[in-house]
Amino acid sequence: MQRIDHTLPWGSLGSERTLSVFRFGPAADGDGSGVRKAYIQASLHADELPGMRVAWALKQRLRELEAAGQLLGTIELVPVANPIGLAQAVYATQQGRFELHSGANFNREFSDLAALVGERVAPQLSSDAAANTALIRQAMRQALADLPAAGSELAGLRRLLLTHACDADVVLDLHCDFESILLLYTLPALWPQVEPLARRLGAGMSLLAEDSGGGSFDEACSLPWSRLAQRFADKPIDMACVASTLELRGMLDTDPAQAAADAEAILAYLAEQGLLAGQWPALAAGAAPARPFAGADYLSAPHAGVVSFLKPLGAVLKAGEAVFEVVDPVNDRVSVVCCHTDGVLYARERLRYALPGLWLAKVAGETTLRHGRLLSD
């Protein structure tokens, strides 16, 4: 195991932050050497800690597997992907989703690599798909290195994370929701390759979108390949990066046994992807469920009040079923909020007070309800 420490730029005078990357296995250079690479990061939204706990379980196991000679590919692990957010607390409450300095969501506005490398690779693309993959990866690394100096600590963090991930064959970004079933996000084109991971993790749902908007990390890694393939349609360009965001249940779900089981599921998937040798559990029969992200029904309250949920996580609902009630005890106003679609109740807000405009429950349906930018902030 190699530990790589990066100092973030723009540390306040007298204090600096460090991003630590742990690298296991043989070196992969992304140039067609045949050594595959996986990149796994946790807690980019810094208060989403189940991923960090799973990452630590992975770190322990990867050390063992490396000592046993079972690593066939390179695995880079970043268990603390957001040291900025992790340290943010206001009046004893952690704020890990938005940077206090700028208000920016930590998982948005990653660089558009397709735009950065398009002109660079255009003259050199050939009819050899593997050579194109190596060329594009090299161009991505170089384009990020050539950017002007990062203008903030957050910009520097985003660039470092993307630099480590951009030439990986597999990218897993470990998050969680407030209260949630286990759920994955990926591109529709990548679902056949992500579905075995969803099955191994026992995911209750996966949500698929070609472009959710906002420049989230997993899409910053995977979307450039489909964008370049569209732009240079006369050249073979593979979807060379299988990227997924994993919602590892809810914020409170850091149970050690569950984390160990999730880590084993991820390792078995990495073995399937050619990164690990050895004997791993066979993939269970059946298929993991997936639905369009555009079919997710975000339910919010019509007025302020105390929220009581009427359905448990994972409930299978019919359109029109009551999901939660909101009570205003001053005016005796009681509203029951129902879902607009048949679907699975996959996430609930942690707060029990209705705030204007904020979702309180999410239901995964099959028909398109939303257009444009799908990600909320």
Positions in the binding site for Zn ion (CB under 5 A)? 45, 48, 175
Q: Cβ 97 to Zn ion, closest distance in Å? A: 7
Sequence-ordered strand ranges (E) for 43-79: 74-78
Report d(CA 198, CA 206) in Å as an integer: 7
The dihedral formed by the CA atoms of 11, 17, 22 and 26, expressed in degrees to the nearest 10: 20
**Nearest approach, Cβ of residue 123 and Zn ion (Å):** 39
Chain-centre distance of CA 320, in angstroms? Answer: 31
Handedness of CA 296, 218, 70, 82 (dihedral sign): negative
| H helix or E strand, kind and range, residue 354 | strand 353-354
Minimum CB–partner distance for residue 181 and Zn ion (Å): 15
- Judged by CB, which is closer to Zn ion: 153, or 247? 247
Residue 143 or 251: which CB sits closer to Zn ion?
A: 251
The Cα–Cα gap between 285 and 288 comes to: 10
> Which of 48, 99 has the CB closer to Zn ion?
48
Phi and psi (nearest 5°) for 275? -100, -20
Q: For residues 23 and 175, which CB has a smaller minimum distance to Zn ion in the complex?
A: 175
Q: Least separation, in Å, of the C-beta of 174 and Zn ion?
A: 9
Which residue, 48 or 342, is less far from Zn ion as judged by CB?
48
**343-348/316-317 β-pairing:** antiparallel
Q: CA 9 to CA 282: how far, in whole Å?
A: 45
Contact 120, 70 (CB under 8 A): no
Question: Are 13 and 52 a contacting pair, CB within 8 Å?
Answer: no
Task: Give the C-alpha separation, 199 to 286, whole Å.
Answer: 8
Q: What is the nearest approach in angstroms of Zn ion to the Cβ of residue 185?
A: 10
Shortest Å, Cβ 249 to Zn ion: 12
Q: Which is nearer to Zn ion, 48 or 195 (CB)?
A: 48
**Nearer residue to Zn ion within complex by CB, 45 or 199:** 45
What tokens does 88 get? 């943010």
Shortest distance, position 175 Cβ to Zn ion, whole Å: 3
CB of 48 to Zn ion, least distance (A): 5
Could you tell me how far CA 62 lies from the centroid of its own chain?
Answer: 21
Of the pair 48, 219, the CB lying nearest Zn ion is at 48
Residue 278 CA to residue 107 CA, distance in Å, equals 35
Angle between helices 129-146 and 113-121 (to 10 degrees): 110
